[in-house]
Amino acid sequence: MSYNTLKCLDFYSFCLFFRSQTKGPSEEYIPEADGIIESNYDGVVDAFDDMNLREDLLRGIYAYGFEKPSAIQQRAILPCIAGRDVIAQAQSGTGKTATFSIAILEKLDLSNNNTQALVLAPTRELAQQIQKVVLALGDYLGAQCHACIGGTLVREDMRKLESGAHVVVGTPGRVHDMINRRALNTKDIKMFVLDEADEMLSRGFKDQIYDVFRFMPSDIQVILLSATMPSDVLEVTQRFMRDPVRILVKKEELTLEGIRQFYVQVEREEWKLDTLCDLYETLTITQAVIFCNTRRKVDWLTEKMSSRDFTVSAMHGDMNQNERDLIMREFRSGSSRVLITTDLLARGIDVQQVSLVINYDLPANRENYIHR
């Protein structure tokens, strides 16, 4: 069932996903009309043991639970380690975070405490998740990683950066602020990663991203990861990347067969709440995420369900960082089972226990439907 099929249904339809519990300057280049790049690299390495990685990094990879590299990891890790600029196009949940994290950790000079890799992400939650992955994979290396995100104390960021962090991951606004305050020294940065680049640019971070680029060394290696390739992402690749390796993981190569999709056609908007509550009472839910299109709708739905004695939690961008951190901790630990949210959580956030995703509102575009 495609996104376009859903759009052709009654306006008030909403859809559900069930997920099984398995883990699963360059030359001008114009992509296909639907924003899909063409690969120019076909190297594939089927095992982490064949990538000639540091022994302590391999220990971290296997301790984290990885057994075999995913499709994007098989293709992109080695070009990243080799120092090539890399454009990688793949959907969320395909292993992109570990791809650039492994490459960063392999290339770190651990005797140098200065920042050597910078990662930008569109949301605070994704930045924190990337930090956790880097620290976990680099545990046996002793790698230090700090997350610079809005909503936290500026002086705490400055203190952490002064004490040294091999890798800094953050949101564009806070990272730009730390550079302007001279708290983040960019002279030793060798790798600059833009994760979920299309989402960052769609959120209005273009000027801040371009300003951060101005502070990077002239020979900086750029790695860009994106689910789609709209014109503003292509502009970044053309302005700041040199002869990039282009890697596309096609949809048929993704291991997403554990997802089953259903839709419920509701004739009137006001009947959606009753339908949702009926589903809530009928289904056995391990953990679920309910997506709404606006922060106001999140608050409204949370209040309505709570008034009917359903236990739910909510999260959106208007909440302060401490609230958001607490809600995510409770949801990850399982103490909170149903989370109502906006597209804030649609990109890159991995909670393995989630067995059900409900689109209370159908998203405005196909890309967000896929990411949800």
The strand order across the sheet containing 313-315 reads 259-264, 14-19, 354-359, 287-291, 338-341, 313-315
Same fold flag, 3-19+258-371 and 48-253? yes
Looking at residue 23, its pLDDT comes to 37
CATH 3.40.50.300 fits 3-19+258-371, yes or no: yes
- Of these ranges, 84-93, 121-130, 215-224, 267-276, the one predicted with the greatest mean pLDDT is 215-224
* Residue with token string 């096609």: 250
CA distances from 6 to 157, 262, 283, 307, 362 (A): 44, 10, 22, 30, 8
For 236, how many CA atoms within 13 A lie in the half-sphere containing its CB? Answer: 31
Per-residue pLDDT, 263: 83
Per-domain boundaries in the chain: 3-19+258-371, 48-253
Q: What span, in angstroms and rounded, lies between the C-alpha atoms of 29 and 194?
A: 19
pLDDT at residue number 270: 86
User: In whole angstroms, what is the distance from residue 220 CA to residue 189 CA?
Assistant: 7
Query: pLDDT tens digits, residue range 12-57?
Result: 555 665 554 433 343 444 444 346 678 888 889 999 999 999 999 9
48-253: which CATH architecture? 3-Layer(aba) Sandwich (3.40)
At residue 181, the 3 state secondary structure works out as coil
Please state, in angstroms and rounded to a whole number, the distance separating the CA atoms of residues 38 and 249: 10
* DSSP H stretches of helix in 249-365: 272-282, 295-307, 321-333
User: Under 8 Å CB-to-CB from 5, ≥6 apart: which residues?
Assistant: none
| Per-chain mean pLDDT for the chain | 84
Query: Is the pLDDT higher at 9 or at 123?
Result: 123
* Mean pLDDT, residues 222-250: 90
- Each residue's pLDDT tens digit, 80-99: 999 999 999 887 777 899 99
